[in-house]
Amino acid sequence: MNFELNGTGASPIVHSKEFQAVILAGSGSKLFPLVDKTCPKALLPIANKPMLFYQLEWLESAHVTDILIVCQDDAHENIHSYIHNVLNAPERYPNSKVEVVKVKGSGSVSADALRHVANRIKTDFIVLSCDTITNYPPNQLLDVFRAQSPTMAALFHEPLKADGDASSSKKDKDDDLIEYIGIDHSTCRLLFCVDGDEVDDELPVRMSILDKFPAVNIHTKLRDAHLYVFKHWVIDFIAKSKIQSIKDELIPLLTHFQYSEEVLKREGIDKFLTSSANFDQFYASRQLSSTGGGFVNASRSVSLENHYNKQSREANLTRGGNSVGNNALSSSSSSRHHHHPSVGESGGSADSSVILLDSGDAGEEEVTDFHREIVCTAIVARGEGGYCFRVNSVPNYLEGCRALVKTLSAEEQVARSVERQKGCQVGDSVIGDSTRIGEKTGIKKSVIGKHCVIGKNVKIVNSVLMDHCVIEDKVVLEGTVVCGHSKVLEMSNLKDCQVASSVTVKKEVQGKNETFMG
């Protein structure tokens, strides 16, 4: 299911308590040295606003009024102070309750964090990582969840494209990993999500998937946004399970439930599910829809029973036919081992084969209605003028900052209190309050924080300076992040470097792919 990321055309939303939200504020080890005890990951500035600001604004636009921010013990004080003293959440979001919850020890793991607040979650709930930045219209996502009533809805996005002249060439290993996302586009079902490091030359695909979903599109140019909407029973399941990771354990398990009765019974899911035989989910969703029935136009819709019967009939018609699209697999092939050179998005390829795995005793498996209860929906965010990305590494941080700068008008980019000397040039950049820029200095595609002092003849490209930085004369910065209260002395040249907070880089230093610590 694709939606345009233009952020327009949204209908008025009525305040609702049908959803709660949990923001997971993890440690951010891959963002070292940008994050530390004084600047936890959730408060890392992106385009001069803390990361957490973007999730709160996104939830406010959906009028989700009950928000839990779950963080580690050592980050609690700083995040709590930001919420109440800097952002002043009670005044900014008067109809919302925003609570910061600290978790010790293993609570840094995503599922453990949810387990810690399980007793506070009373409704269907949204889970998002504090490093997920998007302007995807939340009412569209929630209306899909209302209309289809899935167990889970997950948002996927395409990776940010680095600028052609971006200087940063250093990429973390994890940034380049392919994710194999299996989607049945006729029903918007998410069927599997496999990280590239789990696949060598062959991608295993279970026959039980193709038995129930004959055409599977396998995408290699989509990424999991770590933004999910869950039915309430999922939190009860998590609370009683030993699952630690949402992405690596919970999501694969939920998708597996859709086509494996054996796994469903083994996990005892039946006791978490409630019967909906006499309950028309589509009719109910129309009443809850923020757009007044944009997805369900009839006064009383067809029931889920008819909906899934139609899916089954369509699936039977396609069984034995040719594969659908360039990226699809068909269950009609007689061979169990397929070379599939066109796996991925149109124009892309993945050099791997697809292995069809037998499902053991699947042929004797009792056919039940379990797949009608467990539904995982995939929503793909695409479109010009919108953005969806994760800030989970230093290269992604730089690219994310550039992406947000592009969304701002010229008036929004440079604060009125900025002092610019003769001959300085600023282009496609954000400059914070009370920053001073010296003569003949050039700043391009960068973010400069508040109260910075930049000398003469300085060149800054594709870089980020946080608040209270000092950059002396004739310094060159390319693809570099300088954390708060740090100094780079005259005639230094840093490319693809990171400077930790409160650090001084000596004069005339020539640095490339280096990290400067105190």
Q: What is the assigned CATH class of domain 2-162+175-396?
A: alpha beta
Q: Is 58 left (phi over 0), alpha (psi -120 to 50) or beta?
A: alpha
Query: In the chain, which residues have pLDDT < 70?
Result: 1-16, 105-108, 162-176, 274-372, 383-384
What is the reported pLDDT for 326?
34
Residue intervals in the chain for CATH 3.90.550.10: 2-162+175-396
Q: Which CATH number fits domain 411-516: 2.160.10.10, 3.30.1280.10, 2.40.170.20, 1.10.8.60?
A: 2.160.10.10
Helix/strand/coil for 200:
coil
Backbone Cα Rg of the chain: 25
Whether cis (ω within 30° of 0) applies to the bond prior to 33 is: yes
What is the reported pLDDT for 16?
52
The tokens of 453 are what?
């002092």
What is the reported pLDDT for 178?
84
Alpha carbon separation from 280 to 147, 302, 368 (Å, rounded): 11, 8, 20
Burial class (CB in 10 A: 0-12, 13-18, 19+), 272: middle
What is the rounded distance in angstroms from the CA atom of residue 136 to the CA atom of residue 385?
10
Report how far Cα 291 is from the mean position of its chain's Cα atoms. Answer: 24
H/E run at residue 420: strand 419-420
- 266: CB partners within 8 A, 6+ apart: none
Q: Which amino acid is at 307?
A: H
SS (H, E, C) 279-310: CCHHHHHHHHCCCCCCCCCCCCCCCHHHHHHH
What is the reported pLDDT for 4?
53
Q: Which amino acid is at 90?
A: P
Residue intervals in the chain for CATH 2.160.10.10: 411-516
Cα–Cα–Cα angle for 448, 451, 455, rounded to 5 degrees: 70
226-248 per-position pLDDT tens digit: 999 999 999 999 999 999 999 99
- Give strand ranges (E) for 112-222: 124-129, 132-134, 152-157, 179-184, 189-195, 202-206, 215-219
Tell me which residue has tokens 């980050």.
Answer: 75
